[in-house]
A and B are shown apart, each in its own frame.
Chain A
């Protein structure tokens, strides 16, 4: 853009698509074209049969040059399908983000009859598009460097595997272990796992690219994907490393039995305690004293909710070792479900062997867990339906695996959510399994959920390749607009850091009284939540700012609606806007009174904008957000719901019927529900609601 065009007001070009008759048979596109041309910002308006055709694109490029256009609006079909096409088409002559597509096909021609109301809606859509283009400014893309190093927390099998494979590909690896040995918290006690662990430990210990910090804890993490600053506490000493990615495998631990249990602890042991007993018995001159051993699998209620993956295997293996040490011992296993895992039924053989050796198995039901008495266990066998009493002199309880004590600290440091059991969870299971809140933070192995050896290794290889691919990039580019803070206005109130879903905003000290919010452009995902909560409006989000949204609302409502109430709809583009397109694609009609404004996220539904819509003559404001749990920006929809509730209270207090404001949860393919709720809303506003 030259200085001359900056000085002048924007010259918007409008292309009205006939879509080969699909639009022009319903709408008078010629009239729309004339109306658009009459707008003060519009320098050029034209009708096209197929602007998306290669010839149409060529003519568009030509028009941009000829008429010195610096913004282009195409009024055609769903932007989701063709906006990219047009942006690529104009790239040689115009900044791509200055091309917008307004939807008059799916949102008007396909759903409304070709009457004056439909034409007014189409004209409003074009007005909105022009108003948006006239007020937006192109935002520079944020980019940041990627540090070629990774921090690995923990030293389980998967952590070691990842460390080795990253180090082998030439990346520096810092391995932080809380204890003084590698692999100390591996829950699977299988022989092969131990061997693997030993092999990998040796390799890791002597690898030149791996630094190992024993007895160390991570105490602080700052920075953004590609460039994290991690402070590590080792004894009294604090070391700071700059790394590009962080891999977490801090493992899990078996729950302890607890001191408050009434059990005779000399006779009732956990699986881990029994393992120690077995190891002692293998030493020369020792022998296994108990004769009657009862193993209770899934011993804790909480384990019934989630399988711990490794304990059945370990239990059967222990039973076999008991038989080896003392063939006369009697071993009874009480189980609910046997999970043997392994690839290709690798552990089935052990089960068969156990049965051959005369180990007894009783299956119990969740509703009737075994009752441990003073010298016998009572269980209801599901096979015969008969109660069975098994005498014991040793009970072995399999305790569930629970997250390590430091899981909570890590979750807070790295901004990871935890699931109900406290394991580090994936925030967007649906959207990106295997990826966490940040690109560049990976959780694997039992830190994520109990995993057996095969699973842990599989995750490790997956993570290795993902992390290596991530770290091999030279720069990271954020392709969405990011929030910008005006330092002159910011009062340092501290509202915005609290609502940021990605912890992209920090309060910085500055000279004088007030501190200042700073946005990390690499972390910001552009949801706009901070823009809404800023009390002094010091934050702007290019493309979804306090200039263009009110301008669009005003433009949407300025034309006279042909009878019926005027409805302003703010629609999240991941849900309600898509649903409106879908209603069009499926030809589900709804009243044409509604003006749909495409928003990035429901977090950006600003109470001010809603009031602005009312002030501009909207009879009702409809808000469309993703259902809870499905927000593409985390929890924007829940913030929106909370704001709407509060705003309704205020509206009511000032004599405005709160029914004039409605929030609906829609998914992107909910065309039918969109049409139904809009119809219902229009009927309600037009009918019983007093203005």
Chain B
């Protein structure tokens, strides 16, 4: 077991835990954006920063989701430096997505009063990488990845064509914290009615021209009508009172 102090409270955690895990375990709230318990930590959003000082050294900011608990560490999760750092991080994230409700709520929580920097082109995607990592680690298909660098960096399928690896599970859309993800751009969904497309008609016929009546007609009669019905003719004449 490792002993450390978080927010002036002595805390004991099992070896190999990160600071964020220790805080979650002890009910200390830390804002996160790119963290998900089912995924390996990423250290991308920098909202989870905390101040750590070890052995009398000057305290420094670390991303708690990737920083391991160390014996004797003194951690501050709400110091002024931490709050200021989180606020400017949130403001910078807001600069690219200043209309996204989820990010606005985050900004409000972290005390951003106004967004001073605004990019011309808004993008709800904050590049937290959750979708990419979920596709890789949970689904195990790696249909999407982060492509390009710098300001052009974005989440896309290879060569931005509909992915051949995508199984259409939608985990990427579910895990996206900002509703930025366009499912169609990955899986290429298109709504087709079987009547519209000869291709799908052919496809439908794959199963054979079948008759789907596994003799359940009599059973329904037994289940739903109290009086036994004469054999043979299905009870078409029974009731259509709700017809208008």
A interface residues with partner B (beta carbon < 8 Å) = 20, 49-50, 52-55, 58, 78, 80-82, 84-85, 415, 417-420, 425, 427, 430-434, 495, 498-501, 529, 532-535, 574, 578, 581-582, 585-586, 607-608, 611, 614-615, 627-630, 632, 634-635, 638-639, 642-643, 646, 650-657, 659, 667-669, 689-690
Interface residue from B17, B168, B202, B221 paired with A420 (Cβ < 8 Å): B202
Question: Quick check: B170 and A578 within 8 Å, CB to CB?
Answer: yes
Q: Report chain B residues within 8 Å CB of A420.
A: 198-199, 202
Q: Are B193 and A628 in contact (CB under 8 A)?
A: yes
Inter-chain contact total with CB atoms closer than 8 Å: 184
The docked-state distance in angstroms from the alpha carbon of A20 to that of B38 is 15
- Closest 7 interchain pairs by CB? A668-B170, A52-B37, A655-B239, A420-B198, A669-B173, A654-B224, A629-B192
Chain A residues within 8 Å of B72, by CB: none
Give complex CA distance A561, B47 in Å: 42
A498 and B25 CA atoms in complex are apart in Å by: 54
Given contacts A501-B206, A629-B197, 16 further A-B contacts (CB under 8 A): A55-B21, A80-B138, A85-B37, A420-B198, A420-B199, A430-B166, A430-B168, A608-B216, A608-B219, A627-B192, A628-B194, A634-B203, A634-B206, A635-B203, A655-B238, A668-B170
CA distance A643 to B190 in the complex (A): 24
Binds A, one of B90-98, B115-123, B181-189: B181-189
Docked pose: A417 CA to B223 CA in angstroms: 40
Residues of A within 8 A of B192 (CB): 627-629
Query: Could you tell me the distance between the alpha carbons of A635 and B188 in the complex, rounded to whole angstroms?
Result: 18
Cβ–Cβ contact B214 & A533, under 8 A? yes
Interfacial chain A residues near B55, Cβ < 8 Å:
none
Q: Are B170 and A582 within 8 A (Cβ)? A: yes
B165 nearest CB neighbor, chain A only: A432
Interface residue range, chain B: 35 or more
Q: Known: A420-B199, A431-B168, A574-B169. Is A535-B189 also a contact (CB below 8 A)?
A: no
**A86: min CB distance to chain B, Å:** 9
Please state if A50 and B212 are interface contacts (CB–CB under 8 Å): no
Distance between Cα atoms of A54 and B188 in the complex (Å): 37
Interface centre among B13, B197, B206, B213 (most CB of A within 10 A): B206
Q: Which residue of B lies closest to A643 (CB)?
A: B212
Q: Assess whether B223 is in contact with A434, with CB atoms less than 8 Å apart.
A: no
| B134 CB–A CB distance under 8 Å | yes
B238 adjacent to A55 (CB under 8 Å): no
State the CA gap A172–B188 with chains docked (Å).
Answer: 38
Cα-based distance from A668 to B181 in the complex (angstroms): 13
Task: Report if B81 contacts A (CB, 8 A).
Answer: no
Complex-state Cα separation, A607 to B220, whole angstroms: 9
Inter-subunit contact A668/B168 (CB<8 Å):
yes
B: which residues have CB within 8 A of A?
13-14, 16-17, 21, 24-25, 27, 29, 36-38, 134, 138, 162, 164, 166-171, 173-176, 179, 183, 187-194, 197-200, 202-204, 206-208, 210, 212-217, 219-221, 223-225, 234-236, 238-242
Q: Is the interface of B mostly helix, strand, loop or mixed?
A: loop
Q: List 7 A-B contacts (CB under 8 A).
A: A49-B24, A55-B21, A427-B206, A574-B170, A582-B173, A629-B200, A668-B183
In whole angstroms, how far apart are the Cα atoms of A454 and B198 in the complex? Answer: 29
Residues of B within 8 A of A628 (CB): 192-194, 200
Name the contact of B191 in the complex, choosing from A425, A627, A635 (C-beta under 8 A).
A627
Task: Give the Cβ gap from B104 to chain A, nearest Cβ, in Å.
Answer: 14
Assess whether A53 is in contact with B25, with CB atoms less than 8 Å apart: yes
Rounded to whole Å, the gap between the CB of B216 and the closest CB of chain A is: 6
In the complex, the answer to whether B38 meets A55 with C-beta atoms within 8 Å is: no
Q: Which residue of the partner chain, among B162, B175, B223, contacts A430 with CB atoms under 8 Å?
A: B162
Residues B212 and A54 in contact, CB atoms below 8 Å apart: no
Cα of A574 to Cα of B192 in the assembled complex, Å: 17
Tell me the minimal C-beta distance from A490 to chain B in angstroms: 14
Closest to A535 in B: B214
A629 cross-chain contacts in B, Cβ below 8 A: 190, 192, 194, 197, 200, 203
Q: Which residue of B lies closest to A495 (CB)?
A: B214
Residues of A within 8 A of B242 (CB): 657, 659, 689-690
Evaluate contact between B164 and A654: CB separation under 8 angstroms.
no
B238 touches A82 (CB 8 A): no
B7 to nearest A CB, angstroms? 16
* A76 nearest CB neighbor, chain B only: B37
Set A430, A498, A585, A689: member contacting B189, Cβ < 8 A: A430
Query: Given that A55-B25, A81-B138, A654-B239 are known contacts, is A630 also in contact with B202, CB under 8 Å in the complex?
Result: no
Q: Which residues of A contact B215 (CB under 8 A)?
A: 535
Residue of A nearest to B209 (CB): A498
Chain B residues within 8 Å of A80, by CB: 138, 169-171, 174
CB neighbours (8 Å) of A82 from chain B are 37-38
Cα distance A653–B241 when bound, in Å? Answer: 10
- CB atoms of B138 and A84 under 8 A apart: yes
CB closest chain-A residue, reference B183: A669
CB distance from B243 to the nearest CB of A (A): 8
Q: Let me know if B21 and A81 touch, CB within 8 A.
A: no
Q: Which of B162, B174, B203, B204 contacts A581 (CB 8 A)?
A: B174
